[in-house]
């Protein structure tokens, strides 16, 4: 499970534990002031994520996205935002089944289909007079680990630029998939990027950053818009995050973990092929999702529509069965089938996971009949 990808370092990494203790005893947990540690973490993030010229901290990925949207709305003077079916941008920004009942800004969302480059291009140009931004995950995480295609993400970037709309890339999860995030892997240059989850070393954190001219709206020297928040720069998350990013999840560690994940994903996919079950293991690097699907003519998973299963179907039962089966054998994944590897995962653990899945397949081989 790896705390839904935030627990990248495991649950008691010695360097993290030591930094928590030394921060508490030597500095204090949260001191209500700007600190040099904050500048150091900001620098580490700007070094790492090419499009981030300046960055500000908050306490969660949800907040980071709310702030990024506030920048877009303020700068453009417009309020509508294009989001994608299946997107998850936070507790108040959820689009798994349309606009969630508790979402903020209820009337401002325009929902488009993920991985539909022509559709989004058309929508951006049609709605440009009302649009502040397009917000997108480079790989939909909660939506089922569905990677965005290069063509789709570039279509957003280009159309946004042409129409004076901001391109916000939510890298709360995808920032851990490559040393410079998915923007580095795909060569994207978003106007704003949001971060969270793993960047606090496992502690609560969020960050939003990007173009200097946009971030200027929160510059207290020249703007009267406040970015206030008691814990925004709390020493604990900031110091631990800095230590974690600069000494634990180095570029080398990041590459190695994601290679391990990439290998595991293709091995899992291989295990399921040749069974009657229709199983897709989607994802990138060390973050993946096992999907049990009905036999359908198309085989590519491009959007949440391709993952739809009836709640009383064999596939839904199989998904739950898989989860319980793994749980009983000491493996804790997300019930929706998401697996996120943590640092220090051993060959032995990977072998155990694979062995358990082979047993599962043997036991339930006959369950799904390919049609
Ligand atoms: C988890 C997540 C968020 C929200 O982060 P929180 O810290 O849980 O508020 C936002 N965007 C994406 C893509 C996420 O996976």
H helices within 99-194, ranges in order? 117-127, 150-162, 181-186
How many C-alpha atoms does 143 have within 13 Å on its Cβ side? 32
> Ligand 1: which atom is nearest the Cα of residue 205?
7
* Active site annotation includes 161: no
CB 157 within 8 A of CB 187: no
Q: Which helix (H) or strand (E) holds 236?
A: helix 235-243
Confidence band of 368 (pLDDT split at 50, 70, 90):
low
The total of other beta-carbon atoms located within 10 Å of residue 369's CB is: 9
On the CB side of 121, how many CA atoms lie within 13 Å of its CA? Answer: 11
pLDDT single digits (tens) 164-207: 999 999 999 999 999 999 999 999 999 999 999 999 999 999 99
pLDDT digits (tens, 9 = 90+) for 199-233: 999 999 999 999 999 999 999 999 999 999 999 99
Taking the CA atoms of residue 325, residue 328, residue 332 and residue 337 in that order, the dihedral angle to the nearest 10 degrees is 10
Distance 286 CA to ligand 1 centre (A): 17
* pLDDT over 90 at 119, yes or no: yes
pLDDT score for 299: 73
CB-facing half-sphere around the CA of 282: CA atoms within 13 A: 26
Of the two residues 274 and 188, the one the predictor is more confident about is 188
For tokens 């039962």, what's the residue?
317
The string of pLDDT tens digits covering residues 309-349 is 999 999 999 999 999 999 999 999 999 999 999 999 999 99
pLDDT one-digit tens code per residue, 4-21: 999 999 999 999 999 999
* Phi, psi at 170, each rounded to 5°: -85, 105
Closest CA to 323 of 308, 307, 312, 339: 339
170 is a catalytic site residue? yes
Which ligand 1 atom sits closest to the C-alpha of 62? 9
Work out the pLDDT band at 300, boundaries 50, 70, 90.
Answer: confident
- Using CA atoms, how far residue 94 sits from 6, 27, 106, 279, in Å, is 18, 37, 11, 26
- For 61, residues 6+ apart whose C-beta sits below 8 A from its C-beta are 89, 90, 170, 172, 194, 195, 196, 197, 206
Residue 71 contacts residue 56 (beta carbons within 8 Å) = no
360 CA to middle of ligand 1, Å?
31
Residue from 3, 60, 135 whose mutation best tests the ligand 1 pocket (most atoms within 8 A of CB):
60
For residue 32, is pLDDT > 90?
A: no
Name which of 309, 240, 258 is nearest 17 in CA terms: 240
One of 116, 170, 191, 306 is an active-site residue; which one?
Answer: 170
The mean pLDDT value for 72-95 works out to 98
pLDDT bucket at 297, cuts 50 / 70 / 90:
confident
Query: CA-to-CA distance for 325 and 360, rounded, in angstroms?
Result: 7
Is 47 catalytic? The answer is no
Q: In this structure, are residues 68 and 192 in contact, taking their beta carbons and an 8 Å threshold?
A: yes
Instruction: Give the pLDDT score at 274.
Output: 80
- How far out from the chain centre does Cα 91 lie? 13
User: Which one from 127, 197, 218, 243 is the annotated catalytic residue?
Assistant: 197
- Options 9, 67, 80, 88, the catalytic residue: 88
Assign 276 a pLDDT band (cuts: 50, 70, 90): confident
Terminal Cα distance for the chain, rounded: 33
Each residue of 237-271: pLDDT tens digit?
999 999 999 999 999 999 999 999 999 999 999 99
Average pLDDT over residues 132-146: 98
Protein residue with its CA nearest to atom 6 in ligand 1: 61
* pLDDT band, residue 369 (cuts 50/70/90): low
Residues framing ligand 1 (Cβ under 6 A): 60-62, 65, 88-91, 137, 141-142, 170, 172-173, 196-197, 206
């Amino acid at each position: 499970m790896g705390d839904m990808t935030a627990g990248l370092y495991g649950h008691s990494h010695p360097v993290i534990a030591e930094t928590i203790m030394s921060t508490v005893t030597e500095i204090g947990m949260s001191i209500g002031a700007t600190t040099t540690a904050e500048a150091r973490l900001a620098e580490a993030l700007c070094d790492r994520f090419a499009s981030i010229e300046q960055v500000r901290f908050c306490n969660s990925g949800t907040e980071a996205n709310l702030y990024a949207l506030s920048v877009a709305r303020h700068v453009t003077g417009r309020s509508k935002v294009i989001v994608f079916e299946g997107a998850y941008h936070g507790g108040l920004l959820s689009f798994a089944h349309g606009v969630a009942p508790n979402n903020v800004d209820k009337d401002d969302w325009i929902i488009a289909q993920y991985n539909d480059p022509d559709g989004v291009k058309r929508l951006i140009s049609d709605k440009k007079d009302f649009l502040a931004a397009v917000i997108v995950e480079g790989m939909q995480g909660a939506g089922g680990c569905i990677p965005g295609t290069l063509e789709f993400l570039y279509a957003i970037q280009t159309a946004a630029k042409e129409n004076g709309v901001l391109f916000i890339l939510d890298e709360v999860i995808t920032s851990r998939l490559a040393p410079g995030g998915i923007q580095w892997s795909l060569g994207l240059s978003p106007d704003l990027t949001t971060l969270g989850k793993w960047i606090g070393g496992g502690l609560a954190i969020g960050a939003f950053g990007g173009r200097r001219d946009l971030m200027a709206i929160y510059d207290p020297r020249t703007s009267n818009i406040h970015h206030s928040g008691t814990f925004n720069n709390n020493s604990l998350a900031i110091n631990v995050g800095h230590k974690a990013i600069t000494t634990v999840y180095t570029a080398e560690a990041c590459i190695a973990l994601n290679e391990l994940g990439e290998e595991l994903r293709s091995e899992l996919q291989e295990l399921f092929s040749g069974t009657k079950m229709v199983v897709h293991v989607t994802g990138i690097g060390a973050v993946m999702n096992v999907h049990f699907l009905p036999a359908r003519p198309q085989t590519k998973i491009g959007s949440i529509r391709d993952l739809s299963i009836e709640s009383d179907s064999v596939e839904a039962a199989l998904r739950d069965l898989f989860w319980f089966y793994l749980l009983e054998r000491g493996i804790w994944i997300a019930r929706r089938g998401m697996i996120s590897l943590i640092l220090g995962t051993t060959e032995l653990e990977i072998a155990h996971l694979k062995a358990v899945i082979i047993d599962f397949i043997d036991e339930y081989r006959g369950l799904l009949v390919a049609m």
